[in-house]
Structure 1
Amino acid sequence: MTKQTKNKGIQSLDVGISILDIFLKEGKALKFSEIQSLSGITKSNLYKYLYTLTQRGIVYRDPIENTYMLGNRLIEYGNAALNEFDVISRVNPFLKEISDHTSLTSLLAVWSHTGPVIASIRNADYGINIGAQMGATLPLNSSSGKIFSTFRQNKNQNWESKELNQLTKKERDEVLAEKEKIKEEKFTHSTEPLIEHISSFSVPLFDFKRELIGALTVVGYTPLIPNNPRDETSQYVIKTALKISKSFGFIEDHR
């Protein structure tokens, strides 16, 4: 019987994960030579790692550009980690409808142990840099963050306290003062929280227990993003969010 060495991991697995970390850090497609330079792995070994990762769908190789990038299989793993398969699959068609109707980027944010994260994105056809990507954690002062702060009270104190400490006093006061308005209107807007010229608005999604299951968010150039729930685009997204919530058993309160 082979004696196992205590506290020893599997080196080859560690190397494979380090390659994925390079893609995560660089945030773009990479050529073989770039990966080799950044990883320090010998060419022959790197080829074997990339071949295996590509075969498993964890890395994707573009045959035209001859570059490598993270594969779609990782999205499946991420969704499983969030335990939000049903929510994501049900919301995705609506994200497409919203982007097609508004020509803006739409996304779904769900809760994770690190705070609200982007679980699905439908980019506008013309493409913009929204300052975040799939799996990114969103800050409290983003429109998605404010939805979770308002409708998930007493369940995320650690995240909220940490986020508030990173804001200026003026920003903290504004975020806290806005909560009642968000609760009443079920709508919030955020001006350029992540990247200059890009703003967003968000509305909540509820289940049959009237508990928050996600934030439906629309992102685009600041002049195109409404800052109130009465705007035509806002109304369209609010009605879509209600339709999604009803699919999860939510009953609208008409009182």
Structure 2
Amino acid sequence: MISAMSDVSGAGTHSDDATLTVDELSARVGMTVRTLRFYAGRGLIPPPIRRGRVGYYGPEHIARLDLVRELQAHGFTLQAIEGYLDRIPVDATPQDIALHRTLLTPWMRDLPETLDRTALVRRTGRELSDDDIEMLVALGVVEPTPDEDVFQVATAHLSLGVELLDLDLPVEAVQDAGRIFTEHGRALAEELTEVFRTKVWPHYRDSGGPPEHIQHLVERFKPVTIQGLVLAYERAVGETQRDTIRRTQNKPR
């Protein structure tokens, strides 16, 4: 869905909006002047508006720097950030750029939390064997790190993972199910992204609505999409069960 924003265009920053000196911009965004000049040299922000010998910065510069910081928080390298910003039109408005940040909001309720094994045991409220850890990894709730007995944990789903431990499922079955979810989940994400890029986003962009309305659309699009996926899956399971029963009944005895 992020790629949908590369179609955004706007009026850009008007020179009357550029009122901050580089020192004032530094204080506003919490970056050093040296960093700002480095980013400007790499083309991450446009040149300042010159009035005489003084350069001034405005909302577009702030919006782009906020986006740079958001991308850094998501683990993007400087080279990747440059490539990402290259796809944003130079005349994009600050509101357009802010929408990029909205699209970067994680879909998971909570970002993964780093826990060592002792903290993980304390969080689950039970002892965890090596087999239990293997099952949590297969479920996608826990992810190993290069440090032994340190894990990235999807804490929002940890209680569900612990409940599944008590079902005594074969770990191979869980791993196979995980591969299925990953494969089809990626395909769904790519197809839904294309629908959003070609059908949803152009409609709201061309409607002339305020940026806040479009941001609300993006934020609401996520849970609605997830709920639609759950509903479709429930229906598909029901249909599969009915088909299985019909095939069983039609088998010759």
TM-score range, shorter chain: under 0.3
Bigger fraction of residues in strand = 1
Give the structure-2-normalised TM-score. 0.21
Bigger fraction of residues in helix = 2
Greater CA radius of gyration, 1 or 2?
Answer: 2
